[in-house]
């Protein structure tokens, strides 16, 4: 075997190990059952209802902050079907609106739809956490790419929701979002 072929084979094996490690041990490998039964119960109908203030950061592929935002959200529910209206104000001056339609099954499974989501997202609420996966199409100004999203929300004892999302393309993390969501006092 030539040296070049050996180096190529070694690089392929190393890349496969990195990808496998991320899928088994990393962020996307979490499961709702991992949180157990401790902490408050994350009921979407309660936590994502009424006015909500969201503040967050977006990190680029190198781990550096690329954007900050404040979002004003408003959720309403009719039975197990909810609407979550979001208006994001980015530090660049850009404003982005999104309206989610959420369908909650009795077993905690969720189906989520929004105009910039390709197909329907799916997820699960269990204990103090909600996990969603979906494919989102970026705005034309952001390149129009379709990214895979893994989105985790954790309900804290004081009612604050901690949100962490990873955005991937071809299995490579291209962005990460970290945010807090708090109900606006009535």
pLDDT tens track, the chain, 186 positions: 687 777 777 778 777 666 665 555 555 556 666 654 677 888 999 999 999 999 999 999 999 999 999 999 999 999 999 999 999 999 999 999 999 999 999 888 999 999 999 999 999 988 899 999 999 999 888 888 999 999 999 999 999 999 999 999 988 899 999 999 999 987
Which pTM value belongs to this model?
Answer: 0.81
d(CA 69, CA 169): 23
Residue ranges covered by each domain of the chain: 1-30, 36-183
Phi, psi (5° rounding) for residue 89? -115, 110
Q: What is the pLDDT of residue 8?
A: 77
d(CA 169, CA 144): 12
Phi, psi (5° rounding) for residue 182? -135, 140
- With a CB cutoff of 8 Å and minimum separation 6, the contacts of 57 are 65, 67, 68, 69, 177, 178, 179
Q: What is the pLDDT of residue 148?
A: 96
What is the second-level CATH architecture of the domain 36-183? Beta Barrel (2.40)
């Amino acid at each position: 075997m030539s040296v070049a072929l050996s180096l190529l084979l070694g690089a392929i094996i190393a890349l496969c190990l990195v990808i496998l490690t991320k899928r088994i041990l990393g962020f996307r490998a979490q499961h709702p059952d991992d949180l157990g039964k401790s902490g408050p119960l994350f009921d979407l109908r309660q936590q994502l209802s009424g006015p909500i203030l969201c503040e967050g950061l977006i990190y680029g592929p190198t781990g550096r902050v690329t954007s900050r935002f404040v979002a004003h959200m408003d959720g309403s529910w009719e039975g197990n079907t909810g609407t979550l209206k979001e208006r994001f104000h980015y530090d660049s001056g850009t404003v982005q609106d999104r309206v989610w339609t959420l369908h909650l099954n009795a077993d905690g499974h969720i189906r989520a739809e929004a105009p910039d989501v390709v197909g329907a997202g799916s997820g699960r609420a269990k204990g103090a956490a909600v996990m969603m996966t979906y494919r989102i199409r970026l705005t034309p100004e952001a390149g129009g790419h379709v990214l895979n999203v893994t989105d985790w929300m954790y309900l804290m004892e004081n009612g604050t929701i901690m949100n962490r999302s990873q955005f991937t393309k071809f299995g490579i993390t291209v962005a990460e979002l970290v945010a807090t969501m708090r109900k606006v006092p009535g």
